Chain A
Amino acid sequence: MSIKADVQLDCKGLACPMPIVKTKKAMNDVEDGQILEVQATDKGSIADLKAWSDSVGHQYIGTKEEDGVLLHYIRKSGDDHNVEQKYENTITNEELIDRATNGGIILDVREEAEYAFGHIEGSKSIPMGELENRLEELDKDQEIFVICRTGTRSDLAAQKLAEKGFTKVVNVLPGMSSWNGDLAKKL
């Protein structure tokens, strides 16, 4: 299945250092938090784009191969800024396992690409930006454990849900960046 990206960049057939040079330029047109898909055939681009992302401060999400083309997913400025979390009802990653098996659902508000490369089995994906339009998919009577990568987006999502009349909402901290349990993929 294809993974949703906000911007796509064609680097097929290009040799090093072109995929990096073009990715750097393309990133200028990507907004913070959006996903860039880099299509490349240079096998070195797997290691290079990961190192490049780490070095420049973007979030390298993962790479998948499709018909001989490498599809790399990078989220711009993946470092969620150190915003103070405001939503008060929180639990830790460790507590989540026990709590969620008691009839609650885990709501993953990261981008679809981040979810695809590793999420908690059974969790539901609604990216933060789509939440407002997809509220009818959620049950107000059910406990909702909201998770993202570092707790920032899930904090905003929890606030949004509370505002919309959801009362049983819990933010999971710190989030997927330090998740030690099993990961399911959807590639």
Chain B
Amino acid sequence: MSNKVAIIASNGGLFDAYKVFNIATAAAATEKEVAIFFTFEGLNLIHKQAMQQLPMPAGKEHFAEGFAKANVPSIPQLVEMAQEMGVKFIGCQMTMDVMNLTKEDFIDGIEVGGAVTFLEFAKDAAPTLTF
């Protein structure tokens, strides 16, 4: 059985962030080796400023209250926990070039790589998830 979980994060909203980081932290807590490849808008999830206030989908802003009531951890908290548990973050070099971003625009501890970096990790991962 594979002990790896590979995740592609390609969207940059708050809901997307929860899907990505909840699965990632739960997998890491279950002693899986986890890597997340952040590409296109997914880069928002680890961008120093953007991650602090990720947008809700239009018309769904009222969920903010539900998040508070359910005592859901904030995205920066989940990110910190994921990193503490050894989840590997890979930023997509090509997207960063297109968006004119450098490694310094992102939280500490990320790797930057191309598609092959992710594919190499994901080749024997099960499951591979895309958000």
Nearest CB of chain B from residue A20's CB, rounded to whole Å: 5
A-B pair count, CB < 8 Å, reads: 34
Q: Is A55 an interface residue (CB 8 A)?
A: yes
- B116 at interface by CB-CB < 8 Å: no
How far does the alpha carbon of A21 sit from the alpha carbon of B25 in the complex, in Å? 7
Which of A11-19, A78-86, A124-132 lies on the face that meets chain B?
A: A11-19
| B25 closest partner in A (C-beta) | A17
Q: By the criterion CB–CB under 8 Å, are A21 and B81 in contact?
A: yes
B4 to A: closest C-beta gap in Å: 14
B100 interface residue per 8 A CB criterion: no
CB pair A15 B72 closer than 8 Å? yes
Expressed in whole angstroms, the minimum distance between the Cβ of A116 and any Cβ of chain B is 26
Interchain nearest-CB distance for B80 vs A (Å): 11
**Interface check B22, CB cutoff 8 A:** yes
Tell me the interface secondary structure of chain B in the complex: loop
For B13-44 the 0/1 string (1 means CB < 8 A from A) is 00000000010011001110000000000000
Interface residues in B, total, Cβ within 8 A:
12
**Is A164 at the interface (CB under 8 A from chain B)?**
no
Q: Which of B29, B31, B72 contacts A21 (CB 8 A)?
A: B29
Q: Which of B42-80 contact A (CB under 8 A)?
A: 70-73
Which of chain A's residues have a CB closer than 8 A to the CB of B71?
Answer: 13-15
Q: Give CA–CA (A143, B86) in the complex, Å.
A: 53
Of A17, A18, A48, A55, which is in contact with the most chain B CB atoms at under 10 Å from its CB?
A17
Q: Which residue of B lies closest to A12 (CB)?
A: B71
Q: Are B29 and A17 in contact, with the CB atoms below 8 A? A: yes
What residues make up the interface of A, taking CB atoms closer than 8 Å to B? 13-18, 20-21, 23-24, 48, 52, 55-56
Q: Can you list 25 A-B pairs, Cβ within 8 angstroms, ordered by A?
A: A14-B71, A15-B71, A15-B72, A16-B22, A16-B26, A17-B22, A17-B25, A17-B26, A20-B26, A20-B29, A20-B30, A21-B25, A21-B81, A23-B29, A24-B29, A24-B30, A24-B31, A24-B85, A48-B26, A52-B29, A52-B30, A55-B30, A55-B31, A56-B30, A56-B31
